[in-house]
Amino acid sequence: MNPEYDKIVERLRDADVRLSHHRLAILRYLCENTVHPTADQIYSSLHESEPTLSKTTVYNNLNTFINAGILRLITIENNETRYDIDVEDHGHFRCDVCGKVYDFPFRIGDEDTEALEGYLIKDRNVYFTGICPGCRKKDPEK
């Protein structure tokens, strides 16, 4: 599930989204770091190499990407918003110990949403929480 930067840039061009230096830097970061970062993590990671980058610019560009359909906003916990460059249907697993968010293949078919007939579904998200294999190895009693 590693999106291709060039294809996404082309999708932005097709959507008439201006490709500014900061916008491309944020997009490249998202494509290279598919760890479901927060806006603060993106800002902190890019600020040293992009000293004129502001948090407002990061948030504005993330919203532009969401509106263009190339980025998904995920909220696994109420106090933490993360961003996922993979907009295809898949599930997320958040480790309670290390806090990492992992993708896993998961499809929800139309037959799974029959109970929602008449509703307009705008997004499909499946989240699991627990302990990842790496953290379980560190403490086998978990």
Check which CATH number belongs to the domain holding 78 and give it.
1.10.10.10
Q: Are residues 66 and 102 in the same domain?
A: no
Q: At 67, give phi and psi (nearest 5°).
A: -65, -30
Q: Are residues 23 and 44 in the same domain?
A: yes
Q: What is the C-alpha separation between 53 and 65, in angstroms, rounded?
A: 17
Q: Tell me the pTM.
A: 0.84
Residue range(s) defining the domain that contains residue 121 = 91-138
Q: What is the DSSP letter of 106?
A: -
Last residue of a domain, one of 64, 84, 104: 84
55-69 residue pLDDT tens: 999 999 999 999 999
Quote the mean pLDDT of the chain.
Answer: 90
How many other CB atoms are there within 10 angstroms of residue 43's CB atom? 20
Q: Are residues 13 and 80 in the same domain?
A: yes
Token couple for 63: 């919203």
With b for 16 or more beta-carbon neighbours within 10 A and e for fewer, the 51-61 pattern comes to eebeeebbeeb
Res 2 pLDDT > 60: no
Q: Are residues 14 and 78 in the same domain?
A: yes
Last residue of a domain, one of 39, 57, 84: 84
Contacts of 85 (CB under 8 A, 6+ apart): 3, 8, 30, 31, 34, 70, 71, 72
CATH number for the domain that contains residue 107 = 3.30.1490.190
Q: Are residues 23 and 61 in the same domain?
A: yes
Q: E strand or H helix at 83, and its extent?
A: strand 80-84
Q: What is the C-alpha separation between 57 and 45, in angstroms, rounded?
A: 14
**In the predicted model, what is the mean pLDDT of residues 69-93?**
89
- The pLDDT of residue 71: 95
Res 38 pLDDT > 80: yes
The domain tally of the chain equals 2
